[in-house]
Structure 1
Amino acid sequence: MILKMFVLDSEALELNTRVFAFVSDGQGADLFNGLVYFTWIQDSITDEIGVSLLIISGIIFGFSREKFEDEMVASIRLKSLVSATIASYTLLLLGYLFIYGSIFYNVMIIAMVMQLVIFIILLRINMYRFTKFAPNEE
C-alpha cells in the first residue's frame, strides 16, 4: 500500500480485471444519472487486495491469543481497544474539521484502518510494559 501511494509509476503496480460492482460511476454510466447498478466493470483491484490483506492481517495480529493469556492480558487488550477507538475518532474528527478538498479522500482511506493500527500499537506497547515491569508471578 505504501508503494502504491508513493511510487511515481503506480501504473506498474495496477492489476486490471473485470469485477462485479453493486454501484459504479465508471464505464457504462448513464450521462444523466451518473451511476450504474449491479454490473461488471473493468477496474484495478490493487487497492482492494492491499486493504483486504491489511485488514485481515491486522485483525489476526491484534486479536490472536497471547502465549500466556489471562485476565490481565484481556484487561490490557480491552483498555488498548478503548484508547484506540477514542484516539482514532479524535483524529478523524480533527480531519473533518481541518482538512478540505481532494486531500480529504486520503484521510478517509487512512481512517478505514486507523483504529486497527492504533490498537495494535497500543496493545504492543502496553504488553511490553506489562511483561517488562510486572513483578514475576512465580
Structure 2
Amino acid sequence: MKTNFLFPYKLKMLSGILFSISFILLALLYSVSEYSDFEIKAKVFAILGDTGLLGDNESFFWLETSVTDELLMLFVIPFGIIFAFSKEKHEDEMVAAMRLNSLAWATIINYVIILLGYLFVYGIVFLNVLMVAMISQLLIFIVLFRYRIYRFYKTAAHEE
C-alpha cells in the first residue's frame, strides 16, 4: 500500500515527545492562573489588528505583545501533525483503515465541538473555542488512533 503522505517512522518518537511537552505547557498556560502570568513579550509585525479594546483596526504595523501562546502553538501544531501522520513500525492495510476511521471520527467530533460553541458560547470567549477547535481534531485523532492501535496489538498478542 502506498503511504507517500506519511512521515517516516523515525520521526514519531521525537515529535511525540515535543508535541506532548508543548501541549501540556499550552494547557497549563490557559488553565492554571499561576502560569497565565508567564509571558514572553516581543515586538511583532501584524498584518491586521487593533491597538486596544476600543482602538481602531490597523493594517501592517508593529505591535508589542505576549507571544507565549503563539510560540507554543508553533510547536503543538507541526509536531502534532508529524506525530499523528508518521508511519507505524508495521504499516499495512489494517493500520491504514484504523487511521482513516480515526480521522473521520475526529473530524465529526471536532465539528460537534464547533457547533456547540456556536450555540452556547458568545462574545470574546468564543475565540477560545476556536483556538481549542484548531488543535482538538489533531488531539482527538491522536488519542483515537493510538487507542485503536493499542487495542489491535493487545488483541493480536492474546490470539497468538
Q: TM-score, normalised by structure 1?
A: 0.85
Choose from 39, 60, 68 the match for 2:61.
39
What is the percent sequence identity of the aligned residues?
A: 48
- C-alpha offsets along residues 41-89 of structure 1, whole Å, 9 cap, x if unaligned? 1111101011121111211111111111111111111111011001110
Gaps of 5+ in 2: 1-25
1:128, 1:6 → 2: CA distance?
Answer: 29
Bigger relative contact order, structure 1 or 2 (CA pairs below 8 A, ≥6 apart): 2
Structure 1 residue identity aligned to 2:84: G
Match of 1:67 in 2: 89
Unmatched runs of 5 consecutive residues or more in structure 1: none
2:115 is the counterpart of 1:93: yes
CA drift at 1:101: 3.3
What TM-score, normalized to structure 2? 0.74
Aligned-residue Cα RMSD (Å) equals 2.2
4+ aligned runs moved over 4 Å, structure 1: 135-138
Q: How many residues align?
A: 133
Shift of 1:135: 7.0
Secondary structure at the aligned position of 2:33 is classed as coil
Aligned AA (1:75): A
Residue of structure 1 in register with 2:21 after alignment: none
Structure 2 residue aligned with 1:81: 103
